[in-house]
Structure 1
Amino acid sequence: MSTIETLIEQVRQEAEREPFPIDVAVYKAAKKEPTQPILFAGNLKSPVCFFGRDLGRDEVYAEQPLIGAAGTLVREGFYQAIHQQKPKSKQDLQTVCDRALLTNTVPYKPPGNKAYSVEVKERFRPFIERLLVFHWEGSQIITLGTEAFKWYAPYGAKGEINKFYLRGDRFEAKLQIMLTATDDRQMIVQREVTLLPLPHPSPLNQKYYDLFPQMLQQRLNQFEF
């Protein structure tokens, strides 16, 4: 199996192979190379993964997923669940990376914060698969928002993901799926994971934003760290 550094380099090479929408202005302002992926942050040995849609401006500057307004809400809730108190500093929030994996459907920032097309998501899917199947050792994935959850549609039975998301208890229930990835020898490997969907914690999500901290705590109470 290739190293995580090799995987990141493979993502970069794919990004340079053919143009796709990237918010180049933000990368240049942050003095970052636009095609260098921000694939993940956190601990690959952690039991839990927070899975978002894609990067925002703050994530590009920090070179970490889930560190803007929405990501901070996630980190605050996770810290509180672990330590039974609220974080007091940015350093406290950063310690979340010791206990969780943070990643997205696409490791780049789209222009205007609009979701990437299906074509772009599929283009980078093999690399996210390899991250989750070969490099991460956990099995609990908390998806953040509809786009993040439905990224897993290919790994369930036909229509299973969409049907699950129509359930009234989708933010309390769990769904087990078999992730698949192809290694460097073109061998297909499967691995069982559990999806625990939550709404996206964006301030723009008026329906769930105020409820999100409580919903996150309920999710985190469902398994051991």
Structure 2
Amino acid sequence: MSTLEITRDGPVATIWMNRPEVHNAFDEALIADLAAACRQLDADDSVRAVVLAGRGKSFSAGADLAWMKRAASYTVEENLADAGALAAMLRTLADMKKPTVARVQGAALGGGTGLTAACDIAIASSTAVFATSEVKFGITPSAISPYVLRAIGPRQALRYFQSAERFDAARARELGLVHEVVAPDALDAKVAEVVASLLQCGPKAQGAAKELIRAVAHQPIGDAVVADTVQRIAHLRATPEAKEGVAAFLEKRAPNW
């Protein structure tokens, strides 16, 4: 993976986008490498949590200019394939069974905002800057829209998808795009703190919690939703992980995960 560096610290894997000379901007190679890395780490049972980060001054400044220039000459079929690869990568990241944490510093523009939103948890440096800037180039933030809309809602998206305004980390937290904003020198400590909390919890339960959110979000609270939640908890209670979690709590010890 020429565009990435993957590091391990015990059960925690960090995917470093490693194109600092272009502020980790997207091109075909970075998109393909990110998708492959997410699949690889999701299939590795020794990995409990995944951090997505960027080397250098920026998290990701969005589309690489050379890639955009190439895409401008694509046929409709080539554009469909190109856009499909980006959409598939974002979905692969968003659908990972294990918790994902975005470590965001500097520019997180366009696709960088999309990556932030596609992760389960986002921790930003106070220096981070965000934008859905696609309309400045005569296009729309289509591929990232499901994840950004999930984070900030349609009302705020109506403003930022059309204005392409840049907004800082404090505003990103107000909008719901990021969970925490810290000083630059505290970013790694805050990410480590959040990851430590994640590691205390049952891995299969965390995957089930992500599925639960997808199933229940924006659904009316009716018989079908209530019945579904009953089925989910009943099946989980019967799993070895749940039995170990309850036993560890009652015996006042750490669970075996």
TM over 0.5: no
Tell me the TM-score normalized by structure 1. 0.32
The structure that has the greater radius of gyration is: 2
Structure number with higher relative contact order (C-alpha < 8 Å, ≥ 6 residues apart)? 1
Greater helix share, 1 or 2?
Answer: 2
Tell me the TM-score normalized by structure 2. 0.29
